[in-house]
């Protein structure tokens, strides 16, 4: 084996350009796969972090009727907050949110949306709720960039919102957009308007009530409370985790195509060299190499492309990865409309595991692909091979 490695190295370096072409192709595969997964992982990491910071907090309590997928039950999905939460709320560790259905009239068009009331002083999620304390003639509201765009509203605009009160009759009120925030979490942006929870309670005639409670980092209550169900992070993030899984599978497809292309290059080189180097193979055998030694030499030669590629890939890949980690990767415009949580700039995350698995996988596949044609050597007739006759 040591001999094979030594000879394979001599042969590869001696072969020059062809070797380096293959090595470069392979190194490109490494770098691209690692970078691609780095971006996906960086994106996932940021999306999950944003989702926790902006939306789900450290877990939530839901009023038992609350179903985020069924807006028509929102009317029955709020209740008085149980007393056991009071310490948390006053301590700033729990942020109650009251939710109702409503509509907004930008430019005289009707557009249904969700009204979310929250304490302007809350510190549990990153939402800039302090803006709701603005001095304003009309009731202050805030919304995300997406919502503002779809309603064609700007900061300072006044518009009309409508909602149904306890008696089922429609009420209307003028509101002023006091802040438009930038956020990559669609669940706090698209199709919703935020206002002070006290304002919304008044509008709904639901004093002291909430639909859900967002828990902060220090919150310790974890059990269900009559009428309120505890939702842990696994549950709240499950949709996101599902999406991440799908994206990783999509990435895996690219992975596969790249590896197949690189392997075709290696396979082609191997088949060609076994064909062209018959005389050399015959000479090896005449000088006393066993057939297995020759097969192993050619296999190692092929596999060594993958090892040299690690070195070459590291030479330009590591500076590239570090640079990307620093400046981030700007997503092309337009991805916004996919409705996913997408930050404009992704900072790739490169796990050691990812790098090891990629390198190992490529190495194993290269070895197999190199071995397959090399096996033919053991079926060669040495007397023919020495003459370099074409078989």
Judged by CB, which is closer to another protein: 263, or 285? 285
Burial of 126 (C-beta count, 10 Å sphere; 0-12/13-18/19+): middle
DSSP category for residue 223: S
Residue found by looking up tokens 């985020």 in the block: 68
Is 289 a residue that touches another protein (CB under 8 A)? yes
Judged by CB, which is closer to another protein: 7, or 23? 7
How many Å apart are CA 66 and CA 278, to the nearest integer?
75
Considering only 158, 286, 318, 360, the residue that binds another protein (CB under 8 A) is 286
Q: Are 369 and 270 in contact (CB under 8 A)?
A: yes
Closest by CA to 340, choosing from 93, 50, 32, is 50
> Looking at 2-10, 137-145, 148-156, 197-205, which segment touches another protein (CB under 8 A)?
2-10
Is 11 a residue that touches another protein (CB under 8 A)? yes
Shortest Cβ 301–another protein spacing (Å)? 11
How many Å apart are CA 299 and CA 319, to the nearest integer?
31
Is 287 a residue that touches another protein (CB under 8 A)? yes
The footprint of another protein on residues 43-102 (CB under 8 A) is: none
User: Strand, helix or coil at 389?
Assistant: coil
Shortest Cβ 386–another protein spacing (Å)? 7
Q: Which two tokens stand for residue 114?
A: 């969700």
Closest by CA to 95, choosing from 66, 58, 132, is 58
Shortest Cβ 383–another protein spacing (Å)? 5
Which residues sit opposite 158 in a β-bridge?
A: 176
> Looking at 167-175, 209-217, 286-294, 302-310, which segment touches another protein (CB under 8 A)?
286-294
User: Strand, helix or coil at 120?
Assistant: coil
Query: One symbol per residue from 297 to 316: x for binding another protein (CB under 8 A), - otherwise; what is it?
Result: --------------------
Binding site for another protein (CB under 8 A): 3, 6-7, 10-11, 13-15, 279-280, 282-283, 285-293, 382-383, 386-388
């Amino acid at each position: 084996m040591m001999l094979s490695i030594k000879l394979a190295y001599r042969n590869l370096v001696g072969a020059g350009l062809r070797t380096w072409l293959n090595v470069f192709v392979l190194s490109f595969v490494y770098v691209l796969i690692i970078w691609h997964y780095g971006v996906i992982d960086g994106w996932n990491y940021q999306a999950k972090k944003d989702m926790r910071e902006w939306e789900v907090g450290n877990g939530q309590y839901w009023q038992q009727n609350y179903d985020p997928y069924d807006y028509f039950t929102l009317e029955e999905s709020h209740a008085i907050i149980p007393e056991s939460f009071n310490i948390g709320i006053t301590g700033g560790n729990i942020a109650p949110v009251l939710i109702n259905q409503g509509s907004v009239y930008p430019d005289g068009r009707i557009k249904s949306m969700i009204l979310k009331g929250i304490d302007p002083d809350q510190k549990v999620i990153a939402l800039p709720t302090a803006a709701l304390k603005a001095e304003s003639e009309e009731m202050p509201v805030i919304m995300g960039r997406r919502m503002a765009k779809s309603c064609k509203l700007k900061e300072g605009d006044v518009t009309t919102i409508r909602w149904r009160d306890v008696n089922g009759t429609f009420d209307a009120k003028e509101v002023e957009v006091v802040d438009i925030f930038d956020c990559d979490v669609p669940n706090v942006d698209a199709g919703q308007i935020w206002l002070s929870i006290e304002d919304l309670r008044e509008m709904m005639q639901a004093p002291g009530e909430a639909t859900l409670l967002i828990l902060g980092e220090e919150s310790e209550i974890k059990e269900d409370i009559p009428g309120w169900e505890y939702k842990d992070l696994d549950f709240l993030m499950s949709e996101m985790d599902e999406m991440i899984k799908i994206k990783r599978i999509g990435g895996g497809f690219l992975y596969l195509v790249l590896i197949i292309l690189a392997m075709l290059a290696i396979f082609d080189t191997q088949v060609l060299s076994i064909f062209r180097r018959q005389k050399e193979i015959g000479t090896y055998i005449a000088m006393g190499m066993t057939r297995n030694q020759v097969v192993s030499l050619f296999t190692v030669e092929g596999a060594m492309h993958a090892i040299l590629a690690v070195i070459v890939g590291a030479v330009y890949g590591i500076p590239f990865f570090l640079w990307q980690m620093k400046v981030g990767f700007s997503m092309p415009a337009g991805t916004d409309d996919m409705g996913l949580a997408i930050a404009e700039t992704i900072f790739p995350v490169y796990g050691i595991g990812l790098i090891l698995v990629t390198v190992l996988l490529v190495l194993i596949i290269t070895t197999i692909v190199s071995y397959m044609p090399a096996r033919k050597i053991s079926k060669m007739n040495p007397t023919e091979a020495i003459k370099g006759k074409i078989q």
